[in-house]
A and B are shown apart, each in its own frame.
Chain A
Amino acid sequence: MPHAARDPGAVTTPAGGGSPGTIELRRITKTFGATVANYEVDFDLRPGEIHALLGENGAGKTTLMSILFGLVTPDEGEILIGGEPVVFDSPHDALQRGIGMVHQHFMLVPKFTVAENVVLGSVSPWNTRLRRSAIERDVAEASERFGMAIDPSRRVRDLPIDVQQRVEILKLLYRGATALILDEPTSTLGPAQIDTLFGILRDLRESGHAVVIVTHKLGEVMQIADRVTVLKGGRKTVTVERGAFDEHSLALAMTGRELQELPPRSHVAGDQPLLDVRDLRISDRRGHGVVDGVSFSVRAGEILGVAGVEGNGQRELVDALAGILHPSEGQVLLDGADVTTATPAARHDHGLSAIPEDRQGWGLVLDMTIAENLALAGVSAGEYTRYGLLRRRAIRAHARTLLEQYDVRPADPDLRVASLSGGNQQKVVLARELGRDPKVVIAAQPTQGLDVGAADFVQRSLLDVRERGGAVVLVSNDLDELLKLSDSLIVLYRGRINYQASVASVSLSGVALAMAGNQTSAPVAEVA
């Protein structure tokens, strides 16, 4: 496919009738209920380019790409390919035209093999005979052709995250996709895997494919994008070519304001470990050590950051600390008390709070009111009941206080939590968990999916806990966030601590290597 001519200094304006194969989105508008997700957005994609779609969480990036992929129909606007308008009723239509999407949460059937996932949907269902050996052969050949060595007979659930992502990409290429959309592809990857991914993307570009990378990370845009389109609040602010942008201008276009620094912190770490984890072991159903002998401790006034590529035991570790999972071996001590097999309720009593990774799945009951959600833990602990009956006035009073303190909007305790925005929902979780003034806080991906303002609030709240003498375990896929907030850092790989250092003396390359599985020869500094 021919490369479109590029004038390095120009700001692209979409013109009618682009070169054959150019994909254009024109004046796309989409509203969901009361929210305007996209408003008159223009976007175009040329073959042989890597085009970044940048914006905060909630800016409308995923919606726009879902429209391009046929998952969502726009209220207004049109899609053109090679100058002619097309209508996509479903992903099937988009795939027919060579457009494919890799979602942030993978669309793979974990139980199926790689081959079965790749061929899913590729032929008509009335094509009766399905032979395992034939499809595995086909997929093996395809993976060879596209330079991605994947064993087609393995089950997807047994594969590490970055390999799963490659399966997703292979799936699209197998279907003949020429334009690939990747939604937040690096959110679960470590630095080494991100490099591999970018290598693949560059190869795709060289062979004439068009790639859209949807992201909110400035660093990546700087690294890989040929062009950037920035969305803010559902509207497009700007599209610029490589060479015409830098981090600050992009940040400005993304948020409308300069990046804000967090408040400076005083060093308040005490001597006593509030959380002591000793030789923790958790095995999965098949006996593999998902968490394999993890030991660390966190002192009062300290934030411990836990880094690692998703799928290396972080989730199980968090579950074990929160009390949902029981370890097969090891101990968890909370301010001296052994809570290894204690229920979540008992841990609350000992001063533990957990901010779960999936707030809608684990943290909130969406169909209950804000007040009820705030009282969720208290009711089962007997705090809000007298002779078994609810003390409703107490619940609502408590709710009102917390709502104001945590600036939740709208501050109506009788509103269903489902009607709140993601950021406000997370604030409700924070209000409940931090409002009880815990000694130890376990925070798992607390700013995931939040816009900058809400994320900032969350981070400040965690720092607050630290100031007040609490201990925080922060598990996050966002290395920047970890480095910003933590006092010390550990890296998890295959259930073991691969690296540990205080943030003051951390080596970024050491961290990156550790996340990819290479152990550094010795930890740079001991962590308590």
Chain B
Amino acid sequence: MNVTVSVFSIGIALMVPILWAALGEVVVEQSGVINIGIEGVMLIGAFCSALGYRYLHGLTWGLLLGIGGGIVCGLVLSLLYVRLGTDQIVTGILFNVLALGFTSTLYTKYLGGGVVKTYGAVKIPLLGDIKYLGEILFQQNVLVYASFLAAPVVFYLVNNTWYGLYARAASEHPRAAETAGLNVWRLRYPAVIVGCTLSAVGGATLVLTTSGGFVNGLTEGRGFIALAVVVLARWNPFAVIAGCVLFGVAQALQFQIQNLGPLSHVPSDFVLMFPYVITIVAVVAARGSRYPAAIGIPYRPSSATAA
């Protein structure tokens, strides 16, 4: 089998969790909120989907529970970030600790190392037969296809809807949005909730497709990689997708390393480092980050503000 093709094929499968998370983060950030807790949300989504599979028997239930977990995270985080206005970076970090604690605690009690049967690959007729490309793109599992559909929907939402315009105004100049008659909080709540749900689906994808099970700390930084992708891509949809593909392929290389001749002598630890090193390189190459003007700052509507 052509090594390159299989690397890319696996790469696509591996990048999907990150893509979901990145899409979720795009939705959140376009309203002016930064969610460092994305890692925790992914973890909870993963955990809930494992729970769902185990106790409700079936992949669909797993997915649904994962989505449910994401919604709950979204509600909690929107309360903290938007309504209570706590520092977003710090709250996000603490949320990750909290999520890890919760899932680890509940894992030993309720899951204890069960294995999940994963979604099988579904070949799309006709498209799947295209040489090379077909194998890479169109012989994947359902959640991968779902992400292909989700991506354009998200970008359409952000750029071509009234909601997207208003939310972006809230991320650049929330006071301007308020004086134009908009309610900044009410623009941000749905963004955080939907964003967390998408990120949780990313976690569920991890359990239900690639990993086939839940272990403590399953996400291993994927949420942060998604965060990096969104920052560096500056919300350009193509850049976001490209970034995710890059990481997926980087991870896929780990598995194929022995087939790549000279690189097969590299110790496995260094290969595992690769995605993280790539992230740093990408950050440097993008020369810093350029966020929307008012992102990450909790917004206090005027009537609630003392002079």
Contacts and interface: CB of A to CB of B under 8 A. Distances in A.
* Direct A–B contact present (CB less than 8 angstroms): yes
B303 A71 contact: yes
Interface stretch (A29-37, A308-316, A460-468, A516-524): A29-37
Given A109-B172, A116-B165, A128-B161, A121 B180 contact: yes
Contacts of B307: 32-33, 35, 37, 63
A108 B173 CA distance: 7
Interface in A91-148: 91-92, 95-96, 101, 103, 106-112, 116-117, 120-131
Contacts of A128: 161-163
Interface string B264-307: 00000000000000000000000000001100000001110011
Contacts of B161: 125, 128-130
B80 interface: no
A222 to B, nearest CB: 30
Given A33-B307, A90-B183, A112 B169 contact: yes
A109 B306 contact: no
Contact of A121 (B164, B166, B168): B166
Contacts of A73: 303
A165 interface: no
A130 B169 contact: no
Interface in A475-512: none
Interface residues of A, number: 41
A109 B169 contact: yes
Judged by DSSP, the binding face of B is helix
Given A63-B307, A90-B301, 11 more contacts: A33-B306, A33-B307, A66-B302, A89-B303, A92-B183, A107-B175, A108-B176, A121-B180, A121-B182, A125-B162, A129-B161
B177 interface: yes
Given A125-B162, A125-B163, A109 B181 contact: no
A90 B165 contact: no
Interface of A: 32-33, 35, 37, 63, 66, 69, 71-73, 89-92, 95-96, 101, 103, 106-112, 116-117, 120-131, 171, 175
A57 to B, nearest CB: 13
A497 to B, nearest CB: 32
B179 A107 contact: yes
A127 B172 CA distance: 21
A130 B164 contact: yes
B176 A91 contact: no
A90 B181 contact: yes
Contact of A130 (B165, B180, B182, B302): B165
B135 interface: no
Nearest to A103: B179
8 contacts: A71-B178, A95-B181, A106-B176, A109-B172, A120-B166, A120-B176, A130-B165, A131-B160
Contact of A72 (B168, B177, B303): B303
A92 B179 CA distance: 8
Contacts of A33: 306-307
Q: Kindly list the 8 A-B residue pairs having the minimum CB-CB distance in the complex, ordered from nearest.
A: A121-B180, A92-B181, A32-B307, A107-B176, A71-B302, A121-B181, A125-B163, A120-B180
Nearest to A95: B181
A109 B176 contact: yes
B246 interface: no
B156 to A, nearest CB: 9
Contacts of A107: 173, 175-176, 179-180
A120 B168 CA distance: 11
Contacts of A103: 179
Nearest to B163: A125
Contacts of B180: 91, 95, 107, 120-122, 171
A91 B180 CA distance: 7
B165 A92 contact: no
A91 B179 CA distance: 6
A130 B162 contact: yes
- Name, among B177, B182, B303, the residue most crowded by chain A CB atoms within 10 Å (CB to CB): B303
A325 B169 CA distance: 29
Contacts of A89: 303
A395 to B, nearest CB: 30
A121 B181 CA distance: 6
B187 interface: yes
A132 B302 CA distance: 30
B163 A126 contact: yes
Contacts of A175: 181
- Name, among B160, B172, B176, the residue most crowded by chain A CB atoms within 10 Å (CB to CB): B176
Contacts of A95: 180-181
A71 B179 contact: yes
Nearest to B176: A107
Contacts of A125: 161-163, 166, 182, 187
A448 to B, nearest CB: 17
Nearest to B180: A121
Contact of B178 (A90, A96, A129): A90
Contacts of B302: 66, 71-72
A35 B307 CA distance: 9
Contacts of B166: 120-121, 125
Contacts of A91: 178-181
Contacts of A122: 180
A91 B184 CA distance: 12
Contact of B177 (A66, A110, A121, A126): A121
- Name, among A33, A108, A110, A121, the residue most crowded by chain B CB atoms within 10 Å (CB to CB): A121
Nearest to A62: B307
B183 A120 contact: no
Nearest to B170: A109
- Name, among A71, A73, A124, the residue most crowded by chain B CB atoms within 10 Å (CB to CB): A71
